[in-house]
Amino acid sequence: MQTREALRIAQDQNLDLVEISPDAKPPVCRLMDYGKFRYEQGRKKREQRKHQHQNAVKEIKFRPNVGDHDYETKLGHVKKFLSKGHKVKISLTFRGRENAHRELGFAVVERVIKDCADVSSVDMAPKRVGRMIVAMLGVRSGKS
């Protein structure tokens, strides 16, 4: 069909002539309400964004001299976050004289990593950042 004839038909029906496949021989066009089409595309895109799951980074703070019960409670929170698919940032802060015994802090962080080894993988190994030790745990991808 000639382009002029297709445009005339589109105008008679109050529709738009939209080129679907310009590379085809001859090019493929379609009669449609382009404004309505764009609106529907935007609605679909917004709906997809609404149902998209955001993986957040959750942070759990420890202290070098954490008690057993506090440790178990925080470890439970870490495992719960990991089971929901979130990444977990473990941060341990030193205050005052605690800075003199950094090995105690590294021991606590290593203990957390060891206790969560069945459900997590280490995304970032423990490292010292100022007065803190920071490590990142992610969800274990494969069952091994």
Same domain, 69 and 135: yes
Residue-wise pLDDT tens digits, 124-140: 999 998 999 999 999 88
Q: Range of 116's domain?
A: 57-139
Same domain, 68 and 122: yes
Q: What b/e string do you get for 69-96 counting C-beta neighbours within 10 Å, with b at 16 or more? A: eebeebbeebbebbeeebbbbbebebee
Which of 33, 50, 67 is a domain's end point?
A: 50
Side-chain half-sphere of 140: how many Cα atoms within 13 Å?
12
Give a yes or no: residue 87 inside a domain: yes
Query: Model pTM?
Result: 0.60
Residue-wise pLDDT tens digits, 7-16: 999 999 999 9
Task: Region of 130 please: left (phi>0), alpha (psi -120 to 50) or beta.
Answer: left
Q: Give the mean pLDDT of 120-125.
A: 91
Give a yes or no: residue 41 inside a domain: yes
Q: Grade residue 144 by pLDDT with cuts at 50, 70 and 90.
A: very low
Same domain, 89 and 109: yes
Q: In total, how many domains does the chain have?
A: 2
Give a yes or no: residue 144 inside a domain: no
Instruction: Give residue 70's pLDDT.
Output: 95
